[in-house]
Amino acid sequence: MIGIWDYVPIMVEIDDLDRELLRHMQMDASLSMDDLADRVALSRNACWRRIKQMETAGIIQGRRLKIDPAALGLGLSVIVLIRTNAHTAEWVDQFQRAVDAIPEILGAHRMTGDLDYVLRLRVSDVADYDRVYQRLIRRVNVSDISASFVMEDLKDTTILPTHRR
């Protein structure tokens, strides 16, 4: 299993048609192959081949469903800031296992600067966050941990810009 620290993207040259396909697929992954082909003016087979090539290259890494977190009772978004005095491979492995074992942790990022790690969580309320916090600190030692609760999402997307710069 590839961990969050192990992923190395494969750099493959993609053209404007590939970018257009990616843009449409990010907006609506349920589009049929015929609909995608029509939107980018390709034959169904040519469209399918391009998508398969991007999947094989790791550019397309799956197709996911976007769910309203509040509908699942996960209306509170939390940003957790972590500092550690341990910078050993063993600690990182232990931290990786802890992050993987806690489904409420949606994102985990190793940082430069004053912080070591930033986590992004979805929980039902502050008490639910405290339960996640307790599970995390039982699994891994941290020097400092603090949380900020998101008051309002101004923008929260997984859609990447596909245009050239």
Assess whether 83 and 140 both reside in one domain.
Answer: yes
Assess whether 49 and 74 both reside in one domain.
Answer: no
Does some domain include residue 160? no
Assess whether 32 and 81 both reside in one domain.
Answer: no
Does some domain include residue 64? no
Assess whether 135 and 111 both reside in one domain.
Answer: yes
**CATH number for 31:** 1.10.10.10
Does some domain include residue 1? no
Assess whether 93 and 39 both reside in one domain.
Answer: no
Which residue range is the domain that position 133 belongs to? 69-149
* Total domains in the fold of the chain: 2
Does some domain include residue 22? yes
pLDDT exceeds 60 at position 9: no
Assess whether 22 and 77 both reside in one domain.
Answer: no
3-state secondary structure of 51: helix
33: which 2 tokens? Answer: 């192959």
Q: What is the pTM of this model?
A: 0.83
**Residue 10, pLDDT score:** 55
Assess whether 73 and 51 both reside in one domain.
Answer: no
Q: What is the pLDDT of residues 72-130, one digit of tens each?
A: 999 999 999 999 999 999 999 999 999 999 999 999 999 999 999 999 999 999 999 99
Assess whether 82 and 144 both reside in one domain.
Answer: yes
Q: What value does the mean pLDDT take over residues 51-71?
A: 94
Does some domain include residue 73? yes
